[in-house]
Amino acid sequence: MSPSSAFDRRAFLKTSAVAGGVLLVPAAVAGRAGAAAEPRFAHGVASGDPLPDGVLLWTRVTPTPDATPGSGVGPAVEVRWEVAADADFATVVRSGAVSTGPDRDHTVKVAVDGLAPATAYHYRFLIDGVPSPTGRTRTAPAVDADVRGLRLGLVSCSNWQAGYFSAYRHLAARGDLDGVLHVADYLYEYQAGGYGARGVTVRPHEPAGEMITLADYRRRHAQYKTDPDLQALHAARPWFITWDDHEYANDAWSGGAQNHQPAEGDWAARKAAARQAYFEWMPVRQGPGGEIHRRFRWGRLAELSLLDLRSYRSLQTTPSSGDPADPARTITGDPQMAWLKSGLAGTDATWKLVGNSVMITPISVGNLEARFAEALGGLIGLPVGGVAANSDAWDGYTADRQELLGHLKDNRVKNTVFLTGDIHSSWAADVPLDRSSYWWNGNSAATEFVTTSVTSDNIDDILKAEPRTLSVLVEAALRTGNPHLKLTELDSHGYSVVDVTPDRLQTDWYYLADRTSPTSAVRYGKSLATKAGTQKVTSASGPVG
């Protein structure tokens, strides 16, 4: 999307938060010569990628006042960590110490093992005896466990400049979540004033320039992790996270990005910097080859495959170049596609969940007015000019989509559900093997539920219209031209809750009253479900929890 005009910067400092019973007051060092002038653990704590016997823990320490994120200075220090069965740490079950320093921006990641499955734990870090905030996490159930439920918060597209992260606050206040699934655009690369809320910068990015260098990416990650609501949700539950384009640059592909110009240097160097900062600052595991696509199991109930749809993809098509159906084009890359197909067909889990950063559901916009098609194209990467393809998503890589959906059909794989973000709006759909034949046979290979943005602009913002006015016309036209779409809500910001049982998977959408308010209320929007064995989206009686 086009960057917005710049507005005056203003400082934004957050030092504490309370959510979900977890006190998030960074521990300051006091009464000691040479003590840091800021909290030693100013960026909170986090956990992620839970396994039946372990979990990944994360924090960032500020050992001296000059050891600020991205500075490259400060001493190497030892940081202790503890995992306990109780919030008072009377029963510590695992502990240890690790070293960190400026070479990894003073971040700490610990892969803890030896834990019991399906168990809640408390954890913390300590430097010189000073404790971090306390986090709460939990391990996954045993692989063969008869699990009756899984409940996840589903979020995407959290743009600092476009508002506050109240969606995270409301999720952190829930006591019923097993984890949080963030399906990408965790942060944005734009310069201060470059992309806000309807052109207004609610709170400016730091650093002020666009992220390009390793120091830039580190400082931007650090800024996002000063948000109290983000800290609260990280501390309250383990997260499953993947990336999309804005963790690098807008519309990234394997060889470049729309938002990368030659004057900004070598793309490979920028990509390497973004990846390094990401793996330093995020509670995610990295594969032996540096890959981020990975898989997690929740007993016999569900298996979650998290995709990487940026590192290996071909350049996006335009109205004048490229054929979305060209079999030489890929969004996954061949090795990841083989890994995904074998996992979906080979698991005995009831539900096959796919953490999917961009929509797989096909969309036609042929019956939309030009102004509406152009606005929608601003969200989904649709080239202006009438091309009926979501070119930045799976619509721009139809050979890969047909290969995957055909694999599901040929192998009789049931209960595949794509959990998606990116498009800054709410969608639910049957995913047809062929969009045109769905008109008469209604056949579906999978279902997809798309969460809206935490803060990033959507249709009413792009059209500069009052909510639920012009967008209602767009929604009606989309559903008329795409009968496989069961929900299109194009205006609201917020989050979703995904509830999984052996019999059905249900998604509830929740919407913020005002993304530009740090105290925004939230309202319930809609619930839809898919029943086991059907590959169809159906209505639901109401929200869970």
Rg of the chain over Cα atoms, rounded to whole angstroms, equals: 22
For residue 14, being part of any structural domain is answered with no
208 and 99 within one domain: no
Host domain of residue 231: 19-25+140-539
How many CA atoms, within 13 angstroms, populate the side-chain half-sphere of residue 529? 17
In a domain, 86, yes or no: yes
58 & 170 share domain? no
* pLDDT reported for residue 386: 43
* Regions of the chain with pLDDT less than 50: 1-37, 383-388
CB atoms within 10 A of CB 164: 25
Residues 128 and 180 in one domain: no
Contacts with 322 (C-beta within 8 Å, 6 or more apart), sequence order: 315, 316, 329
Of 70, 100, 132, which residue sits at a domain end?
A: 132
CATH number for the domain harbouring residue 267: 3.60.21.70
467 and 362 share one domain:
yes
Closest to 242 in 3D by CA, of 276, 302, 284: 284
Q: What is the pTM of this model?
A: 0.92
- The pLDDT value recorded for residue 355 is 98
pLDDT of residue 32: 33
Q: Domain check: are 240 and 375 in the same one?
A: yes
Same domain flag for 266 and 397: yes
Residue 105 CB partners (closer than 8 Å, separation 6+): 60, 69, 70, 218, 277, 280, 281
Domain boundary among 78, 112, 132: 132
The answer to whether 428 and 287 have CB atoms below 8 angstroms apart is: no
pLDDT of residue 28: 34
Which of 101, 132, 163 is where one domain is finished? 132
Asked if 416 and 404 touch (Cβ cutoff 8 Å), the reply is: no
Does the residue 463 lie in any domain? Answer: yes
Per the structure, how many domains does the chain have? Answer: 2
Q: pLDDT of 181-239, one tens digit each?
A: 999 999 999 999 999 999 999 999 999 999 999 999 999 999 999 999 999 999 999 99
User: Is 522 found in the same domain as 397?
Assistant: yes
The reply to whether 76 falls in a domain is: yes
Residues 195 and 233 in one domain: yes
Q: How far apart are CA 447 and CA 332, in angstroms?
A: 19
Q: Could you tell me if 108 and 180 lie in one domain?
A: no
Close Cβ partners of 288 (under 8 Å, ≥ 6 residues apart):
none
What single letter denotes the amino acid at residue 459?
I
pLDDT, residue 372, reads 81
Distances (CA, A) of 55 to 45, 46, 150, 183, 297: 13, 10, 17, 19, 13
| pLDDT at position 380 | 67
Considering the domain architecture, whether residues 91 and 158 belong to the same structural domain is answered as no
11 found inside a domain: no
Identify the residue whose tokens are 């961009």: 358
Same domain membership, residue 263 and residue 180: yes
Is-cis flag, bond preceding 207, omega within 30?
yes
Residues near 533 by beta carbon (within 8 Å), at least 6 away in sequence: 414, 415
Provide the pLDDT for residue 381: 64
* pLDDT given for residue 440 in this prediction: 86
Considering the domain architecture, whether residues 244 and 352 belong to the same structural domain is answered as yes
DSSP 528: E
Query: CA 165 → CA 191, 218, 243, distances in Å?
Result: 19, 20, 18
